[in-house]
Structures are given as C-alpha cells and as structure tokens.
Structure 1
Amino acid sequence: MTTSSCSIRPGWSPVTIGLMVLGFVAFWPLGLAMLAYILWGDRFHTMARDARDQWRASPLKGAMDSMNTSTSYGRTGNVAFDDYREKELKRLEEERARLDKMRNEFDSFLQELRRAKDQEEFDRFMANRNRGSVDPSASAS
C-alpha cells in the first residue's frame, strides 16, 4: 500500500496560477484567496503564531475568558442575593442530574422493549421456518 501526498506550495507555478484563475472564474473571493496564498502563503504559519502570541498577551483575553465561563459567576456584593443564587443553581443542578438519570432509565427501558420485540419476531420466524414454510404475512407487523 502506497500513500502519496500532494501539496500545493505557495509561489508562481502553473498549478497555483490555474487554481487562481479558476477561483476568479468560479467566485472572485476564491481567486483572491489563492492570490494571497501565492504571495504570502509561506508566511501564514508565522503570522498565525504571531497572532496567537499577541492574543495570549492581550488584556482583552482575560476579559473575554471571564465572560465566556458559564459555571463561574462573580459575586454581586449582596450577600443575601449571592446565597440565594448559589442555592438555586445547586437546586437546578440537582434537578438536571435527576432528569438525566430518569432519561437514562427510560432509554434503557426502550432498549429492552426493542430487544423483546426483536426476540418475539425472531421466535415467530423460527417457529414458521421449522413448520416448513415462511408465511410473509405472518412476519409483517
């Protein structure tokens, strides 16, 4: 078994020029993207790494991370409200766990019903087969 990898490298080659022309003919942003790849494709990895490094050092990253966390809630300063919110969140989490458990039980019940139905249909098939003829109308439910 042989594996071959074909990669299109940035630069002016007949393949990249052809892809750029096809891109402009099909949908002009594709042609523009191919042109950018031809001109700056060898620098994409370093540009992406530089952008990641700048984002990690940015003070906005910390603010965005704190806004995106759904499980950590900041304190409001009102102790009574914060306590109430914590109790309600805990109650909701317990309710979610109870509902998840109930759903799992129901899924198990449905799986057992399907298994029992399959077993019944198989037993009916085997009984008909052992009599010598399979009646297609008997096996249809």
Structure 2
Amino acid sequence: MPTAAMLDDLPKGAWIAMMVIGFIVFWPIGLALLFYMIWSGKMQGWKRDGMRGCASNYRRHRRSSGNTAFDSYRDDMLKKLEEEQKAFGDFMERLRRAKDQQEFDQFMNERRTQGDAPAA
C-alpha cells in the first residue's frame, strides 16, 4: 500500500496529533498540516453542531440518484424529517419553559411562606 494512501486513511485524531506534534517540533510543519487538513476536507465534519443542519446540509450537497421517483420521495421524507425535528425542538423548548416556570413559582411560594413566618 502506498504511503499517501495510508496517510489518507488515518482518522481525524491521528491527523490532529500529527499537527500538534508538528507545532511542537517546528511550527511551519504544524501550520502546513493544519492547512492541508482544512483544504482536504478532513475537518469538514467538525463544522456541524451535533445533528443540527445535517439534513439541510445533505440536501445542498447530494447528487441525483438517476431515479426521479426516488429523488422526489427522498426530498419529501427529508422535508418531513426537518419539520418533525423543528416541531420536536419547539416541544422541548416549551417543556423547559414550563419546568422553569414551575420551579420559579415554587421558589416564590417558599419565599413568601418564609417571609410570613415570625422572626426568631
């Protein structure tokens, strides 16, 4: 197996370790490795925030399968999944707000009852 092919098969962690070692040994080596990692797309997956935007990212970069029926089905399913993801995010936000409101109301009620108690 050629050396270049072996280097391309290395995981991201190994590339980052080589970059850090390169910076320690001689900073232009680390800088060259950093630029190569950015240029080659090895750092591409680190731009995302978890799963947010994965479907829309996929939609922008996908290629046609050659089957228009499948492509339209895939587009419909991705749209439904994005809508469900948004609805679930909204639901979770409402749950967080309700829990925060409940905790705040409980705190205020406890504070009122402590204020009503006679001072010792």
Q: Into which bin does the TM-score normalised by the smaller protein fall?
A: 0.5 to 0.7
Deviation, 1:132, is: 3.2
- Once the 2 structures are TM-superposed, how far is the Cα of residue 48 of structure 1 from its aligned partner? 2.0
Quote the offset at 1:85 in angstroms. 0.4
With normalisation by structure 2, the TM-score equals: 0.59
Extract unaligned runs of 5+ from structure 1: 1-35, 134-141
| Cα distance in 2 for residues equivalent to 1:76 and 1:132 | 77
Aligned equivalents of 2:33 and 2:89: distance in 1? 41
CA offset digits 1:39-69 (Å, max 9, x no partner): x83xx21112333455566xxx36995xx99
Q: TM-score, normalised by structure 1?
A: 0.51
Q: Map of 1:63-102 to 2, 5 A cutoff? A: 70=54, 71-72=57-58, 73-102=62-91
SS in structure 1 of the partner of residue 84 of structure 2: helix
Asked whether the 8 Å contact 2:37–2:43 carries over to 1, the reply is no
| Alpha-carbon distance between aligned partners in 1 of 2:38 and 2:107, rounded to the nearest angstrom | 56
Supply the AA of the counterpart residue of 1:46.
P
Residue 125 of structure 1 corresponds to which residue in structure 2? 114
Percent identity of paired positions between Structure 1 and Structure 2: 20
1:80-127 Cα deviation digits (max 9, x unpaired): 101100110000100110111111111111111001100110011001
Which 4+ stretches in 1 moved above 6 angstroms?
A: none
2:33 aligned to which of 28, 51, 55: 51
Select the structure of larger CA radius of gyration. Answer: 1
Consecutive unaligned residues of structure 2, counting only runs of 5 or more, are 1-20, 49-53
Structure 1 residues 109-124: aligned runs within 5 Å = 109-124=98-113
The two structures, once aligned, show a CA RMSD in angstroms of 3.3
